[in-house]
Amino acid sequence: MSKVDVIMPQMGESIAEGTLTKWLKSVGEAIDRDEDLFEISTDKVDADIPSPVAGTLAEILVEEGATVEVNTVVARIETEAGVEVAADAGSPEPAAEPEPAPEPVAAEATPEPEPAAPVAPTATTPGEPDSREERLRTKSTPVVRKIAAEHGVDITALEGTGISGRVTRDDIMAHIESGAPVQPAAAPAPAAAPAPAAPPAPPGAPGMLSVPIHGATLDIKIPSVPIREGDRVEEMNRVRLRTMEHMLMSKRISAHVTSVNEIDFERVVQMRRGLKAKFAEEGVKLTYGPFIMKAVVEALREYPILNASVDGTRIVYHRDINLGIAVSINDGKELIVPVLKNADGLSLKGLAEGANALAAKARSKSLDFDDIQGGSFTITNVGVFGNLFGTPIVNQPQVAILGTGVIEKRPVVVQDTMGNDVIGIRHMSYFGLSYDHRVVDGAMAAFFLNKVKDVIENYPEDAV
């Protein structure tokens, strides 16, 4: 017999920790592989986490209500020796295409698993509640409790908007920014505040950031910044640190290049106007997104190198086209990328329904574990914020990401019915494709963008 560690999984690009809300199995109870083992809650996703193997639940190391960092061992399952175990004992996704985990959103095509964080279920930082009852009563994460302690706020007196009334970071910051009085127990502020101190360096050597890459650690020097009178210094929270790690990891792994194309959306604009009412009658909101996704699917079919991942010195061409669709949540303060599976088998209506459902689940924090796993290509809409185009960073372990710009009317040169060049008004947009130059050359990226452009500008009627 042998024991397999079960870890707190990574549940999104900037998720650094999760709260284990409920165990679905008891110690000594048998469990099948992929059978739900426990429930977790994060600031972005609530999910049931499946068992990585079949066996017997031998140990529970993290109690219900406890909040721990990702990759922390939460339990151990006793199983027969020699049984096949997933590469990452805490994640059910295939080893050939794990979800980014720097976080984290850090990951490679088949990364060596990082050492699991040491488990200390009862260890807490000063001032933090250490019992299950106290954690549930405060309904918050360590980051929120730390902010509350620094500002003298009693969390138990606040109404939270998170799961089960949990106080989120947005709740505590809104309370502080509202100017509400602090609790009497808070220490009075000194009459003359000393000059602000520099925030402590992230884990690693002083002035260094340690980023995990391919099972090793890369130390990146962080330049020091002179702090002058009147400057405000704010320490990065864990979400921001994890995002920084993931972005640096992706830039270090992939040789980033971005190509931009201008696309005439007039054909799609007219088609959408004619279809909106019909789709609405069927309960489907039709945006420009499904048209773009359909064009991307057609381009990925023709140029599959963009639907691939790098595994060492091998290129993994993915059979399925699983589109990651970036969704802004929490008033634009955070981003999550749910995945629309098998997008190549969906009609325009199917793409609209699938994308709308995932966006709604993301904003209501009801995404399932499977909803954020297995993406093969990502689309991020920077145009929704009015930007002309963007140069997004590749979402590891993928090799390309498309940033779609704002669709707006512009004067352009067009031909009239007699073939003369004239100035016309057209709905135009810029698309920026960031790609990994290790495997995608500039010509291939251009071919891909040109295919997307061709589909959108000459959208076929039968594609609906």
Q: Within a 10 A sphere around the Cβ of 332, how many other Cβ atoms? A: 9
* Distance of alpha carbon 271 from the chain centroid: 32
Whether 246 sits among the annotated catalytic residues: the reply is no
The amino acid present at 3, given as its one-letter code, is K
Rounded to whole angstroms, the Cα distance separating 224 from 214 reads 28
126 half-sphere exposure, CB direction, 13 A CA radius: 2
Q: Determine how β-strand 208-213 pairs with β-strand 216-221.
A: antiparallel
Rounded to whole angstroms, the Cα distance separating 403 from 393 reads 10
Which candidate in 130, 154, 219, 441 is catalytic? 441
Which candidate in 311, 371, 437, 462 is catalytic? 437
Rounded to whole angstroms, the Cα distance separating 69 from 67 reads 7
Max Cα distance, the chain (Å): 81
Whether 437 sits among the annotated catalytic residues: the reply is yes
Dihedral, CA of residue 278, residue 280, residue 282 and residue 284, to nearest 10: 120
**Active site residue ranges:** 437, 441
